[in-house]
A and B are shown apart, each in its own frame.
Chain A
Amino acid sequence: MIDQLTVFLENTEGRLAKLCRALADADVNMKALTIADTAEYGVVRIICDDPARARDELQEKGWRAMVTKVAAIEVANRPGGLADLLGVLDDLDIPVEYGYCFSTKGDRAVDILKVKVSSEADRAVQKLEEAGFRVLAQSEV
């Protein structure tokens, strides 16, 4: 399991740019960013180096930021890579709350998943490893 930085943003012009600038000023390097948005607000989920420090620096500057545990899983960068992964969880009836993918190296992609019931997270990770998936540590993403 790895730490993900989550930031609450109002859906107004320039907020995302300001957030990215604040992260840059804090010397935080992002690996992936995804936004779940509504007309009024957005929830920005970020994979970055040192999420705890990023959170503290953002909080101090008045942003609402938090750190959440998510699973980072390596999948083959080919058609059906994610389908195989989700199939394992579906067979086990472990619902996924949200997920997103990013490709880092040529033949491998990384999927980020948050399972709906946090107490099932460990079981999900264990089952995925048993099924042959590589679950990444913070330093590996």
Chain B
Amino acid sequence: MARKDDVLTMGRDQIAALQLEGIKKTVICCYENVPFYKRSFDEAGFDPYGVKSLDDLRKAPFVTKQDLRDNYPYGMLAVPMEDVREIHMSSGTTGVATVGAYTDHDLDFWGDCFARGISYAGCGRGDVCQICYGYGLFTGGLGAHYGSLASGATTIPISAGNTERQIRVLREMGSTILCCTPSYAMHIADSAIAMGLDPVRDFNLKVGIHGAEAFSDGFRAQLEQKFGYKVLDVYGLTETMGPGVAVECLEQDGLHIAEDHFYCEIVDPETGEPLPDGEWGELVVTTLDREASPVVRYRTRDITRIVPGTCACGRTHRRIDRLHGRTDDMLIIRGVNVFPSQIENVMREFDQVSSWYQIELTTSNSLDVVTLKAEVDPRFDFDSTGAIDQLQKSIQARLKTALSVGVRVRLVEPMSISRSEGKAKRVIDLRG
């Protein structure tokens, strides 16, 4: 086994060889130990013993969240229960929970994967890592916890909530690393400012490792400005491990996949066909050395792409782009796949409108009609005649280019798009 640092800079051939080894082991292990995989491989005519190249994996059927649910609680286990050290579960808010089980080895490399984010930021021993992800069945808290331990940093397992105490600990313990969701980080910053503190001066933060939610570049810039630190995006999901499947480095130009533990593909969410590097599609993950809960071609429903080219940081592991949304959010408008996040990206180019928008889908003469309502920003000089029409037309033209779908833009008054708990309902589908 190569030394940990070498793993991150090994040649692409070496990585491919290592991944092929991992895939072979995983598909055979799944076939022999998990009845679900035996059945699904046989049905698809996939021979786990016949994998000779990475491309051969494409012959394997996908596994979905529903498959994992159907096998709740222990149906997907590939090791005897006595080898399972820990169990996590994804929130069952949209149905039955899915289970992630971990052997000692699984926990060990989980910590290592998350710790990469800490080391990418130049942190480790001597740093103080405040973890305000929720601890418990949710993988955020303990994933960051194992990562912090593995990195050599001092770990403060404060968990989520009690913002005043978070702020007190940030100040008094001099935490240098903050692990939590981006929205909670923003809440901490705003609360500290409201208490009369200056997070840049009064805190000692170097880096925030924020994930479990998609957040925009603008949001990241605001966080970095408020705290005076660097924000690294971290990706992961319970079904494949938890946070650490991919983490950004300081280049902030995509998240390095832990390619010694995961093999990632991007597929067309409609057809399931693989897409070339650079194209946006659904992320599909195969674990390479997961013992308790291996997955073969797990459809994450997360939309991203492989960032083409190599990273300026010199690490060779491929990168996924920051998440574009989930296939669940995908709208099909006149046969074209549209993600609300694509619309959001266009909106951000126009400072005449705020980030509050709403997409209304209606039908007219059996054609889909999309209306985007955007709130007028105070910076917009709407007094000039024609300025509003002009702005609506410019946004429409940009959206047409970005989405390949015509969208009607309608400017509306501030606060006219309803907000519930600070979050706007982005899409209203009134199609019959």
Contact = CB atoms under 8 A, between A and B. Distances in A.
Interface of A: 4, 6, 8-10, 36, 38, 40-41, 43, 45, 59, 62-64, 66, 68, 97-98, 114
Given A36-B385, A43-B388, A98-B385, A62 B414 contact: yes
B388 A66 contact: no
Given A62-B415, A66-B381, 18 more contacts: A6-B382, A6-B383, A8-B376, A9-B413, A10-B412, A10-B416, A38-B389, A40-B410, A41-B411, A41-B412, A62-B413, A63-B414, A64-B378, A64-B413, A66-B378, A68-B381, A68-B383, A98-B385
Contacts of A63: 413-414
B271 interface: no
B365 interface: no
Contacts of B376: 8, 64
B366 interface: no
A59 B354 CA distance: 14
A51 B384 CA distance: 18
Interface in B366-414: 376, 378, 380-385, 388-389, 410-414
Interface of B: 376, 378, 380-385, 388-389, 410-416
15 contacts: A4-B383, A6-B382, A8-B388, A8-B413, A9-B413, A10-B413, A40-B410, A59-B378, A63-B413, A64-B413, A66-B382, A68-B383, A97-B384, A97-B385, A114-B383
B416 to A, nearest CB: 7
Contacts of A40: 410
Contacts of A45: 383
A41 B414 CA distance: 13
A70 B384 CA distance: 11
A56 to B, nearest CB: 11
Kindly list the 6 A-B residue pairs having the minimum CB-CB distance in the complex, ordered from nearest: A6-B383, A68-B383, A62-B415, A64-B376, A8-B382, A10-B413
Contacts of A8: 376, 382, 388, 411, 413
A6 to B, nearest CB: 4
Nearest to A65: B378
Contact of A64 (B385, B389, B414): B414
Contacts of A98: 385
A62 B414 CA distance: 6
